[in-house]
A and B are shown apart, each in its own frame.
Chain A
């Protein structure tokens, strides 16, 4: 009986931890830059790509300037 309760508690704890980890990783959005062109096309660069790493610091400067 005690063994069964322990197994149940262990399963519940594991399920809860798994849910929290999944939600945390899914909820975290990466910094990115979306660019739209006059021909209707769009490209998206996520943080870590050379293009985003060039533009994101400029964007952060703009945000800092706006909130000064």
Chain B
């Protein structure tokens, strides 16, 4: 599934999410529900700032996989997967578990390799059938 399709599915299934932006580990925008590219880039910069700030609070150096910043105006969610991340905003007091689940599904969908084509079944060679027919006659 391509990132645009994954984001379209996310927007369809999650009414709580206002905007969402998919990004690479290097901060490049991969896909977005926002039309304006500058806005999408600014959201990714904010998300990377949150991840970096959150990671610095731990002396043992654990990797931050997801975070939620909840304010009275709304919440910011950031989820990081293998090589990609997603940032999304919601209104105040969202259903946290559901939003995280939807964001992870979107991230998985956007990163999934296309499924290989099923091998086609070989048809029996017509020559063998003819031979069988001639034996009977």
Contact = CB atoms under 8 A, between A and B. Distances in A.
A67 interface: yes
A43 interface: yes
Size bin of chain B's contact surface: 20 to 34
Contacts of B57: 35, 43, 45, 51
A60 B92 CA distance: 12
Interface in B41-74: 42-43, 46-47, 49-50, 53-54, 57-58, 62-74
A33 B71 CA distance: 9
B14 interface: no
Given A31-B70, A66-B89, 14 more contacts: A29-B70, A31-B72, A32-B69, A33-B69, A36-B66, A37-B62, A37-B65, A38-B65, A55-B69, A58-B46, A59-B69, A62-B46, A62-B50, A66-B19
Interface of B: 18-19, 34, 39, 42-43, 46-47, 49-50, 53-54, 57-58, 62-76, 87, 89, 93, 96
